[in-house]
Structure 1
């Protein structure tokens, strides 16, 4: 079970990299829009986050409050990414775009600093 948990954690980090990297690339290109890499990253983050919250035979379980906060943030990110992508918008409001980046960084901060 430990190997499965480590693989899930690795894939979760890959999802984070895709989401944040896709957003940075869009920002640097000058065209603020949601791209398919961001959608993949948000989807991977949400699915692997749900899988990582399962007990998986651990002696010490993660804090349920931390899991709830991370789950809500991940769901918000997913919704904020998927809606403009499905509607095929050529650009999104800069505030919306920066909120995606900010929530992504906040979610990582909760994971790292909340013990």
Structure 2
């Protein structure tokens, strides 16, 4: 069971890297649009996050408030990315909100014990 959790966590981190890396690349180039790595990163993070939130058998479950917070953030990120993916240019505030929510989601994962 522990091996499955570690694999899910690894894939979750790859999704984070795709989402944040794809967003930073778009921001640096100056053309703010949703690219495929951002979309796949959001999907991967959402799906693996749900898998990681499954109850564990060793009694080491994360706090329910943390799980709900991360789920809400992941859903917001996914919705913002998914419904903006076909636009030629995304509003700067919208794009920065995606980056900011991604970083907040990571901060919740790391600092909330």
TM-score normalised by the chain length of structure 1 = 0.96
In the TM superposition, what whole-angstrom CA distance separates every residue of 1:50-85 from its partner, at most 9, and x where no partner exists? Answer: 000001423211100000000000000000000011
What stretches of structure 2 of length at least 5 have no aligned partner? none
Root-mean-square deviation (CA, aligned residues, Å) is 0.7
TM-score normalised by the chain length of structure 2 = 0.98
Alignment of 1:1-115 (within 5 A): 1-85=1-85, 88-115=86-113
CA contact (8 A) 1:5 1:56 kept: no
When the two structures are aligned, how many residues end up with a matched partner? Answer: 113
Deviation at 1:29, TM superposition (A): 1.1
Deviation at 1:11, TM superposition (A): 0.3
The 1-side partners of 2:56 and 2:38 are apart by 28
